[in-house]
Each structure stands twice: as C-alpha cells, then as structure tokens.
Structure 1
Amino acid sequence: MREQVLKTAHALTVDKGWDRVRLSEIAEVVGVSRPTIYKEFGDKTGLGDAMIVAEAERFLAGIAVALDEHAQDAPAAILAAVRYTLDEAERSPLLKAVLTSNRDGSETPASGDDGTRPGGGAGMLPLLTTSHSMLHTASASLTAWFAHHFPELDAVDIADGVDALVRLTVSHLVLPEDSRDATARRITLVALRYLRLDDLPSARR
C-alpha cells in the first residue's frame, strides 16, 4: 500500500503540481481510505517528505553505481555521473524540480489542513530543505569518492571542484543549451581541468 501511495502521489505531482494534489484523490486511486494514508504518513507534508526521500535514495544509488563502474577512471566516472543526473532529471520531472529548487530552503513550507496554504499554492513540493539535503549528500558522496580513489588530490581542491561540478550540472538542468551528451562532456572537462586530471588519456576520448 505504501509503495502504491508513493507512486500515485509522484504521478499526480508531476501531472499537476503538489499544491493541487489531495490525499482524498490519492486514496481513491489506490483504493484505501484517507485515514489509512494519514496513519501511514501522518499528513500531506509527511507523504511529500516520504516521496522526496524515496526519490533521493533512488537518485543517489544511481550516482554511486555510475561512479563505482569507473573506480579508477576519473574522466569516465565524472562523465557517467553527470550524464546519469541529466538523464534522470529528464525522465523524472519530480527529481528535476527537487534538484533545481531553492538550495537555501528559504521558501516557507505549506501549511493547512491538507498541506496547502490559503490563498496560494505550495509549488511542486513544499520541502525545499530536503532538496538541499539531497544536493549536499550528493556532493558529499562525490567528495568522498574522489578522496578515496585519488588520494593524491588536495582535499580543498576536491571540495571546490565537486561544488562547481554540482552547481554546473544543476544550472544546465535549469537552462539547457545543448544535448545531454555534449553538456555532460563539457562539464566533465571543466571538472577534470580544475582537478588537474585532464591529462589522463581517457579524458580525451
């Protein structure tokens, strides 16, 4: 039941926006009572949080696989991770909304009986601090990966390079100007040059 509720909430959110999603509608589609959803998730905000967490876990697991498939090849690993992010954002409007939302979490979460604000919508998701956490966790994973596989790199350079890599990728999600292949290669080369890894043969492929 929980998985069906999350899938339905995800589909409805992508279709019309989180502020227009109602728990009663989800309950009807899934075939359960509204109190059952409240019992499982607490309220609409709790459901939204669970939906974000599920999306984050799927996304971060994919990033980890992309990196580990190229454990000793920094250019290939960066390219795979960036391309995975661009592809997943294209396939999942919800993920794109989360990744490109306000990183400082300054927007006030929605309130109200069913998770909406009187007189205004809550946007795609009123849980922007969670999206900040996803970006932070993704950055931390990349930083740890580079530190482990390329210990000769300076720790500050790794942190700064990863931060630039993440921000560049998100900016291209907001304002794409080229194909995902070309964008991924361009971002990869920027990261490699900053980390002084662009002299590796695989970086020129």
Structure 2
Amino acid sequence: MTMAERSAAPAAVRPTYHSAARDLLRQSILDSVRDLLKERDWSKVSLSDVSKQAGVSRQTLYNEYGSRSGLAQAYAIRLADRFVDQIDKAIWANIGDIRTALSEAVSAFLQESAADPLVQSLLTGEVKPDLLRLVTIDSAPIITHAVGRLVVVFQRSWVDASDDDVRILARSVVRLGLSYVSIPPESEYNVAADLAQLLGPFVESITTADPSR
C-alpha cells in the first residue's frame, strides 16, 4: 500500500450506540479492577468485589468476560493496547526516525507497565500461576490482538513496507515488549534504546518511501 493510498483510506466506521455503550461498560469494569488492585493483591480480588466496585451485577461480569481469568485477560489486552497507542504516537512524533520512535514507545511502555497494579501484583508476594500463564503460555490472544493492531499502525504510517515485513516487525515488537512484563529489565541497561538499536536497521531497510511526503 502506497502513502497516497493510506492517505485516501476511508475513515473508521462510527460505532453504534450499543457497541459504544458496551465499550464504556467494559472500560468502567477494567478501571474498577485497577482501583481494587491499588488496595489489594490480585489473589484477594473476587468477581463480587469487582461487581460492587463497578456497580454492575455478577451476571454482567460473566456475560462480558466469562470468568475471573477472562477478566484478567481483558485487562492485559488493554495494557497491550496502550503499548500500541504509544508506538503510534511516537511514530508520528518522529517521522523518518524509527529508532527514536521505538525507543520512546518502549520506554513509555516499560514505565507504565512497571507502575500498573496488575503487573505489580504479578511480580510481588506469592506466585500467581494464573497471571503468569496469562503473559507466558496463555499469551496467544494478547499477542494476536496487539500484533493485529500494530500491523495497522505501521501500514498507515510512513513505514512504507510490504505486508510481510510489517507483520514481522509487529510480531517482534509485541513479543519483545511482552517478555519484559513478567521479567522486568535489568536496571543497569537501557532496554528501550537496545531494542531500538536492534530493530532500527531492519525497519530502515524495509522502508522505501520518503517519510516527508
């Protein structure tokens, strides 16, 4: 897809009232989970606690997420969405400079994830197998969602590369970013700069368009 084609891409479809209301409901529930996690460990948070905090019924929680694990997965996917949003913002703030864009985005994500109460709960106290599985062997839904979104971000940006190359880049960025959630980076290394240095040459080699156009 050329830069001109991306510029001419149709605007996003306006959400229906029902979908917008459901999205607002889900965001409110996930905000409630975050608020509870600021007060207590994930192991101490029940669906009843969340329903009371969010002001919804337990049946509503079951309808939306299916289980406590499903709720945690939705929370983690929202965290992955923030990572994609940060990459999107950094790309357009650093046109033609993918190394700086990646460094800024990864740095912001690492800071945000380190401060997130669910991640803090994962990394502190007793071992939580459900959360650990969520970001390791059961991480496929999170990875698939984030990669899909990031592919679109790259395709609509000045990173004018083939679909195959964009997907390679998106998969690499997401998997590397997610790996640092369960195993935080060593304090003596600038991981964001290291990843930008690692991936930068690949992006520069696949980007064929003049980003200033």
Kept in 2, the 8 Å contact 1:67–1:77? The answer is: yes
**Residue 139 to residue 26, structure 1, CA distance change in 2 (3 Å):** closer
Query: What's the CA shift string for 1:65-123, capped at 9, x where partnerless?
Result: 2333224322222112211221221121425889x9xxxxxxxxxxxxxxxxxxxx763
> Equivalent pairs: percent with the same residue?
21
Supply the RMSD in Å over aligned alpha carbons. 3.9
Give the match for residue 132 of structure 1. Answer: 140
> Superposed, which structure 2 residues align to 1:1-205 within 5 Å?
2=25, 5-13=29-37, 15-17=40-42, 19-27=43-51, 30=53, 32=55, 36-42=56-62, 44-45=67-68, 47-48=71-72, 51-52=75-76, 54-94=78-118, 123-124=130-131, 131-148=139-156, 149-151=158-160, 153=161, 155-173=163-181, 174-178=183-187, 182-196=190-204
Equivalent position amino acid for 2:113 in 1: A
Deviation at 1:185, TM superposition (A): 0.6
**Aligned pairs, how many?**
169
Equivalent position amino acid for 1:123 in 2: D
TM-score under structure 2 normalisation?
Answer: 0.57
* Distance in 2, Cα, partners of 1:67 & 1:122: 36
**Residue 86 to residue 156, structure 1, CA distance change in 2 (3 Å):** same
Equivalent position amino acid for 1:163 in 2: R
Q: Which sections of structure 2, spanning at least 5 residues, go unmatched?
A: 1-23, 206-213
Determine helix, strand or coil for the equivalent of 1:72.
Answer: coil
Equivalent position amino acid for 2:202 in 1: Y
Deviation at 1:130, TM superposition (A): 8.1
Query: What's the CA shift string for 1:140-160, capped at 9, x where partnerless?
Result: 344444445232x45544433
**Residue 146 to residue 49, structure 1, CA distance change in 2 (3 Å):** closer
Give the match for residue 11 of structure 2. Answer: none
**Residue 183 to residue 54, structure 1, CA distance change in 2 (3 Å):** closer
Q: Which sections of structure 1, spanning at least 5 residues, go unmatched?
A: 101-120, 198-205
Equivalent position amino acid for 1:85 in 2: F
TM-score under structure 1 normalisation?
Answer: 0.59
Give the match for residue 209 of structure 2. Answer: none
Kept in 1, the 8 Å contact 2:76–2:142? The answer is: no
* Distance in 2, Cα, partners of 1:142 & 1:57: 9
Determine helix, strand or coil for the equivalent of 1:139.
Answer: helix
